[in-house]
Amino acid sequence: MNTGVLAFVGKVLQYLADNPYILGIIFLLYIFIFAMSVLFSGPKPGRNPFSAKHVKPVQELVSDQKTRDQILKQRFKSHKVPENLDTIIIGSGIGGLEVGVLLARAGKKVLVLEQHDQAGGCCHTFIDKGFEFDTGIHYIGKMDPSYDNRILMDQLTGGKVEYPLMDEAYDVVAIGDPMTEKVRKYPFVSNKEKVIENLKTAFPKEKEGIDKFFQLLKEARHFFTGCVVLKVLPKWLAQLLVSTGLINIIFKAYGQFGKVTLKDVLDSVTNDEELKGTLSYIFGDYGVVPSKTPFGLHSVIMGHYFSGAHYIRGGPSELAFQMIQVIEERNGRVLVNAPVSQILMSDKGRAIGVKLRKGDSDVEIYAKRIVSDAGVSNTFLHLLPKEVATKSSIYPMINKVGESVSFLTVFVGLKGSKEELGIQAHNCWHFTRPDVEQIYNEYNALSLEDLPNHDVPMMFISFPSAKDPTWHERNPDKSTCLIITWSHYKWFKDWEDGRVKHRGEDYEEIKNAIGRRMLQQCIKLYPKMENKVEYFDVGTPLSNKYYLGFQHGEMYGLEQNMVRFLPEVSIQLRPKTDIPGLYLTGQDVMSVGLGGALYGGLLCASALLHRNLYKDLQALQKELRKSEESEKKQK
């Protein structure tokens, strides 16, 4: 060894001696890498559920409602329950159905139970008086065939679902009171550079702040990586990463942007209130005001659509329609009108089945594993025996994080085509003033009696009929509009014991008065809708509770606030619970929306099958890419 090398080695050893903590970091990194390599060891891994062979050509849309109902509305009967069940899944939202499909493709026999009379959760649609409405999925990002999100969805649906692009300007931010002033509009388009250019044109004095904001968006885009790692590593190792601070070093975006709020970032880049309101507009997608939102979450949600926003051909129920058929092809079942009242436990403290109340009798069904897509709050406050739930490390997280916001939705049926009505395949986010958090707080402080006489300061306006290219073939000369705003369960609590559609005149009067106010404001933004309304109905937090099973109408499960993404919370909110035999799926495992629930389901299925399904998905993505390149060369 020459003198230069010896000198270098000596300097390295001296540096390590002067900084012994580095040895600790190296050691912990070794443990981390080793743990990742054996993460899914132990029980024999289940079968890989992914294959290019699962994807078939898109077929003609099934629009006959009776045919669709035979799949989506299979009522529970004891004789329909498959024998020798491997897994029972409570809830048929995207997270529940996804786990069902992946387990079924891996050779497991599954039963999905849905409390409502139609499967799909927030993916379900309903038809009333000839008008069809979606309920929870209004647009989806990253559905280009090259994205892993799309590849995963194709695996779940057999590739039989199409995702048409919405308008280039998929979101339009409208600020101003349409009753008294000209509304300023700021489009967000399917190209990040063009978004930046449009904003600089609208706010010429804020170019530097706009650049800084989008640079921070870029730096925070991998925020969820650290969060996911804490959910899949063994708890002891995850806690070691946190206690040593390594989580913040290895996963910088998670460590940095989970501690800073959206408001902090906005205040640091600009003093222009209208620009702040415009840059924060999409906080309605996760239901938390800027001062309580981790900037990392906002960056992921905002960036989710920069490559384009998509809808679903045939409406969101098409997802459930196709996924159920995959489950049933593999001897599983998805049954509705099956409200689970209790998760059954063995004497040894293991989840072994569920109890349903049907008529005057109880029905008990048993399986090796139980998966809940009913949300953490429902699962631990209502389905598990209290003495079991309170001993779980997940139980304290419910109060620590809190429940998410609820919504009030106005369903509007219109006479005429989108061209005649001046509506487009986009969403409109309307704020009466740019100080979005202040108007939110002011509206929250109102009493129920004040609401009908008060402008609704924040509205999300969507036109499902304009987004689906097949709509007017199926529904000629008709269009639909949804108008959504935030709402409190407490405002409607007095009517919670009433039956759906029979809650009394007072309830109908007050909810319709709020709805009419919202419709009036909407028509000011889209004046060609005037005198074209043929259908009008209003859903409140009580409607959300009845149809979707949320106890207080909360639409996003646990709240998506700063606490939700803290390391100690992320470690506990994982698919495999500390109750043997019980697993969680859906948005409470990961995050909000279709994408959040989708990856919550992927993590859950990974835990159940003892294999890294994301790695399998990436392998499939590479296989498909090579196949596509080979086909191009042959041509």
**Domain regions of the chain by residue span:** 3-37, 52-160+313-392+579-634, 167-187+405-555
Helix, strand, coil shares of the chain as percentages rounded to 5? 50, 15, 35
167-187+405-555 — its CATH code? 3.30.9
Give me the pLDDT at residue 434, please: 97
Helix (H) or strand (E) holding 510: helix 505-525
How many angstroms separate the CA atoms of 31 and 33, rounded? 6
Helix (H) or strand (E) holding 584: strand 582-584
Strand 333-335 with 110-113, pairing: parallel
**Residue 283 burial (10 A CB sphere; 0-12, 13-18, 19+):** buried
Extract the tokens encoding 382. Answer: 């209502």
Among 599, 600, 557, 563, residue whose Cα is nearest residue 136: 557
Are the C-beta atoms of residues 402 and 148 closer than 8 Å to each other? no
52-160+313-392+579-634 — its CATH code? 3.50.50.60
pLDDT in tens, 292-301: 999 999 999 9
Give me the pLDDT at residue 54, please: 96
Matching residue, tokens 């499960």: 557
Residues 6+ apart with CB under 8 A from 331: 82, 104, 109
Give me the pLDDT at residue 33, please: 58
How many angstroms separate the CA atoms of 48 and 36, rounded? 19
Give me the pLDDT at residue 501, please: 82
Phi and psi dihedrals of 312, rounded to 5?
A: -125, 125
Under-50 pLDDT residues of the chain = 1, 38, 40
Give me the pLDDT at residue 22, please: 58
Give me the pLDDT at residue 548, please: 79
Are the C-beta atoms of residues 544 and 407 closer than 8 Å to each other? yes
Q: Is 78 helix (H, G, I), strand (E, B) or coil?
A: helix
Matching residue, tokens 């007017």: 472
How many angstroms separate the CA atoms of 232 and 576, rounded? 9
Starting at the edge strand that comes first in sequence, how are the strands of the sheet with 361-366 ordered? 340-345, 351-358, 361-366
Extract the tokens encoding 348. Answer: 């040894």
Matching residue, tokens 């000011």: 524
